[in-house]
Structure formats: C-alpha cells, structure tokens
Amino acid sequence: MKRFILLLVIVLVAYGSRDYWWDAAKEQVPASIIDSFQSLQQTIENDLSLDGIAQYFDSLLSGETRLALPNNENEQIEVDAPTLTAPDEQLFSVHNIELGDSRSDVEEETGEPMRSTENEYGVDWVTYHEEYHNFVMVGYDSEDHVIGLYSNQDLISSPTEITYGTDKNEVREQLGDPETSVRKGMFSYQVNQDEEYDLFQIDNSYVTIFYDEHRDDTVTAIQIIEYDLEQSKDELYTEPNEQLTEGFEYQLFDLTNAARVVHGLPVLTWDDNVKETARKHSTDMAENNYFGHTNLEGESPFDRMQQDDIRFITAGENLAHGQFSSIFAHEGLMNSLGHRENILQESFEQLGVGVAFNEQAQPFYTEKFFTS
C-alpha cells in the first residue's frame, strides 16, 4: 500500500507539472508510453479517484494499456435464432434467403430493414437484424430480387455439411480448390494470397467464405454475389463518391456490432464527432500516401481526438487500407490480434468510422473506439 501511495504521489506531481516537460518528453519517449500517460491524464480529468487510478495501474501491470472499466451498461437481449433449412435450388442460403428471392419473401423472414447503404457494386446493402442478432445484409436488383447476401453469424445453411464453424479443410474437400484470381475487364487480379478467405464460383454466383484464424481457421462469414453483378464491376476498386464513402463507414460499424454480439458483448453507439476525426485521418493517409496511427505531424490518435474536443476515458484505433469493401476490411481486422482486441473490447461504448479514397480509388479505413 505504501508503494502504491508513493507511486500515486509521483503520478500526480508529474501530471501537475506536465506543462513544463510534456513537449520535450514527446520527442524522446516512445509513443506507446506517451499514449498511456494521455489515457491516464484523461482518467484524472474525468474521475480523480483512487479506485480509477488503481484500476489503470493494474491494467498496466497486466500488460494491457487500456484503462480497466466497469462493463458497458447496455443489456444483452435474448433473440430466438431462426430455424434454418437447406436451400432447394442453390448450394447456400443465408437466414433462409437465396439469390433470386423477392424482397417481400426476405422481409417476411427477417422483418423490416434497419439500414440501407451503397456498396461497391453500385447497389445498396440492406441490413436486417434484431439489435444485431440474426444479422444479414441483402442486395437487390431493380426488380427487388436478391442479388447479394452476407452474414457473419450462424445463419448459413447448405445441403453440404458446410456451416458456420466448419473447418477450412472440410470446406475445400467439399467445394474443391478455390479461385486464385478474378478477372476484371482486360486484367486478372490475384485474390486471397493470405488464405483468410476462399472464393468459389458456384450456382452462377461468386461465393466468398471467410475464416477466423483465431478459431482454428473455421468458417466465420459468407458473401454470395450474383455472377452478373460481379461482372458488372469491371475494376477491382469502385470509383468513389459520397454515398459509397458513407456506405463503407456505416457498413463497417454494423459489421463490428454484429461481431460483438456473437461474442456476447454489448453493441457500440455511433458517434458523429469521432467519425469526423476518423475520416480526417483516413483522408490524410490517402492524400499523403502513408499508413499509420501517428500522422506526419507526429500526432497520435489521442492527440487528434483531443484536438477535436472529444473527451474520453479510454480509446483505441483500428486502421485498414486497400480492401475491396468494408466486409473484407472487417474480416481482415478480425484476423489481426490487436485489431480484434479493439473490436471485442468490452469497455468500449462508442465508435465512429471514417473512410477516404486515394487517387487509385483504394479505400483507407479508420475506426475510432472510445468510452467517455
């Protein structure tokens, strides 16, 4: 106890005199230590209590740089899972939905849509869920027939034995070798060099099966895109516009919450202010051709939030770039341990996502998690 009181006194003295040494320290001390002190600074400003500071030092001693916080107060709801039946005409269905189904049939199965946002194919992903349980995204053609499907939850059914949680090797045994390239216009592009997903051409469609490397390379999500829709996208990347930018941002937010409920965690609240902070960083990276948490002025994620007057107790940032869509970005982040920890951090309560594109139309994604 005496050691803790002595340490607390040292910290408070350092905090009180920070104006005299802060700028010099930032030039000499590793960014991770500076970031930890900034997190502690926010703790002191928001809650000057022994318990709060003690929790912070407990987190440091355990190797975790985030402040330990009480559980999010959002209650988990119980939602009945749908009874899944194997499709009659196709190899896969999602939430009992198949390509070609009518929108009225879909919404009889799922209920009313929760969001509709533009995707990289120039159509909308229409999102259905119950507080992010039974989460599915559906794309429709001009006649309201299904031409695209995605889910990262246990909603996959098939006459094969492939379902959510199936081993990658079992998938390949049943479906054969995955595609190694996809043709766009005059060019063929290599896909999936890291083997985080497999692409198959099945049932006049492109089926992408994603794997969770942290759950023994088992099926974690599926995307099904009608053949003609995929072929209508004649470039690897889609020419950006404001609708696509907002679409990618909200889609990454929804995907994050859908993943959190699978892991028994409360959903995050969208924050417009931190979204602007995130979008500015994505724009900076895209325009200045770099990729990193620290920008070219040496400012950390915490610095940028404080400059935008965003008060936080604890915060985290995820970055991704170059993925075709928010779906591929999210699945890649879930396979990266540090990014996955942010996505599944129980103490986070708010999230904003910012997206920007470089001159080659490649997207840059910034996720800003925090608790205020």
289-307 pLDDT per residue, tens: 999 999 999 999 999 999 9
Enumerate residues 6+ apart whose C-beta is below 8 A from 273: 308, 309, 310, 352
What is the Rg, in whole angstroms, of the alpha carbon atoms belonging to the chain? Answer: 23
Q: What is the pLDDT of residues 118-164, one digit of tens each?
A: 999 999 999 999 999 999 999 999 999 999 999 999 999 999 989 99
pLDDT greater than 50 at residue 234: yes
Q: Using an 8 Å Cβ cutoff, are 99 and 202 in contact?
A: no
Give the C-alpha separation, 294 to 301, whole Å.
7
In the prediction, which pLDDT does 186 show?
Answer: 66
Assigned superfamily of 93-234: CAP (3.40.33.10)
CATH code assigned to 244-371? 3.40.33.10
What does each C-alpha distance from 279 to 167, 283, 311, 355, 366 come to in angstroms? 37, 6, 18, 5, 7
User: Residue 103: its pLDDT value, please?
Assistant: 98
Q: Is the pLDDT of residue 80 over 90?
A: no
- Kindly list the distances between the CA atom of residue 148 and the CA atoms of 44, 48, 214, in Å, as whole numbers in the listed order: 49, 51, 27
What local confidence, expressed as pLDDT, does residue 42 receive? Answer: 46
Q: How confident is the model at residue 189 (pLDDT cuts 50, 70, 90)?
A: confident
Whether the pLDDT of residue 228 is over 80: the answer is yes
Looking at residue 365, its pLDDT comes to: 98
pLDDT classification of 16: cutoffs 50, 70, 90: low
Q: Considering the chain, what is the average pLDDT of its residues?
A: 84
Q: How confident is the model at residue 109 (pLDDT cuts 50, 70, 90)?
A: very high
pTM score over 0.75: yes
What does DSSP say about strands 350-357 and 269-270: parallel, antiparallel, or unpaired? parallel
Q: Are the C-beta atoms of residues 128 and 134 closer than 8 Å to each other?
A: yes
What are the residue ranges of CATH 3.40.33.10 in the chain?
93-234, 244-371
